[in-house]
Amino acid sequence: ETGVTQSPTHLIKTRGQQVTLRCSSQSGHNTVSWYQQALGQGPQFIFQYYREEENGRGNFPPRFSGLQFPNYSSELNVNALELDDSALYLCASSLSADPGTGELFFGEGSRLTVL
Amino acid sequence: QQQVKQSPQSLIVQKGGISIINCAYENTAFDYFPWYQQFPGKGPALLIAIRPDVSEKKEGRFTISFNKSAKQFSLHIMDSQPGDSATYFCAARRGGSEKLVFGKGTKLTVNP
């Protein structure tokens, strides 16, 4: 059984650029959540995807968007990057018959630096 | 608005000692309270979790104490080991919600 895998592990972008981060769910998991973790802070919820539909969103602007694919893998896209977007982006998967009930398993994250 | 307040920010304990980390919450709709452990360069890993229908849950050296009336919960690490040195996060989730709300974390250092 493979865990949650994320790519790339590190990347550097400049302000105004766009970035796509990728996540492969743990085997058998149907729900993916994305979190942003700024340095020295706890993770903050961005959004969750369940059965390829967005199932809830945190306090993030529309330039943060996502997708979930039929194999339950997921992408996080961020447009018009700002310096404050520099953070560790965490993907978490869970197996939920109903959203909000599953235990979350986190990947190791993608470290984004915006210059 | 910080929905889950965690303290202390950092904690230094001697090997064999007890580490105690506290969290407080405001939203009485929260019904799931996990603790996560995060090592540098890694994602958070679930350590132990509790629901408010019990006051204590123990797994090995790790215990969650839960006080529903005070809206507080804490993590106790017995016989702390240098390998326990990590950042610990408490979190909470409202029933039926997809969103975990995290505390700001506690950096634990266990000296040999």
Instruction: Report the CATH number at residue B44.
Output: 2.60.40.10
Looking at residue B98, what is its pLDDT? 73
Mean pLDDT of B7-32: 96
Q: What pLDDT band is residue B8 in, cutting at 50, 70 and 90?
A: very high
Residue with tokens 């989730």: B93
- Whether the pLDDT of residue A96 is over 90: the answer is no
- Whether the pLDDT of residue A88 is over 90: the answer is yes
* Cα dihedral B96→B99→B101→B107 (10° resolution): 120
Phi first, then psi, for residue A85 (nearest 5°) are -80, -10
The total number of structural domains in chain B stands at 1
| B98 to A43: CB separation less than 8 angstroms, yes or no | no
Identify any residues that bridge with B64 across adjacent strands, giving them in sequence order. Answer: B57, B75
The rounded percent of chain B whose pLDDT value lies above 90 is 85
Q: How many A-B residue pairs are in contact by the CB < 8 A criterion?
A: 64
Residues of A in contact with B96 (CB under 8 A): 98-101
Residues of A in contact with B30 (CB under 8 A): none
| B46 to A45: CB separation less than 8 angstroms, yes or no | no
Looking at residue A1, what is its pLDDT? 52
Looking at residue B63, what is its pLDDT? 97
Note down the domain range covering B75: 4-111
Mean pLDDT of A85-90: 97
What is the 8-class DSSP label of residue A104? Answer: P
Looking at residue A94, what is its pLDDT? 85
| A99 to B43: CB separation less than 8 angstroms, yes or no | no
Q: How far apart are CA B95 and CA B93, in angstroms?
A: 6
**Average pLDDT, rounded, for chain B:** 94
Mean pLDDT of A2-29: 93
Looking at residue A13, what is its pLDDT? 98
Phi first, then psi, for residue A36 (nearest 5°) are -110, 130
- Whether the pLDDT of residue B1 is over 80: the answer is no
* CA max distance for chain B: 43
| A105 to B46: CB separation less than 8 angstroms, yes or no | yes
Q: Which residues of B make CB contacts under 8 Å with A? A: 6, 34, 36, 41-46, 49, 89, 91, 93-105
Q: B44-89, pLDDT tens digit by residue?
A: 999 999 988 899 999 999 999 999 999 999 999 999 999 999 999 9
| B46 to A104: CB separation less than 8 angstroms, yes or no | yes
**Average pLDDT, rounded, for chain A:** 91
CB atoms within 10 A of CB A78: 24
Identify any residues that bridge with A5 across adjacent strands, giving them in sequence order. Answer: A24
Mean pLDDT of A62-80: 95
Identify any residues that bridge with A110 across adjacent strands, giving them in sequence order. Answer: A89
The rounded percent of chain A whose pLDDT value lies above 70 is 92
| Beta strand residue intervals within chain A, DSSP E | 5-7, 10-13, 19-24, 31-37, 44-50, 53-57, 64-68, 74-78, 87-94, 105-106, 110-114
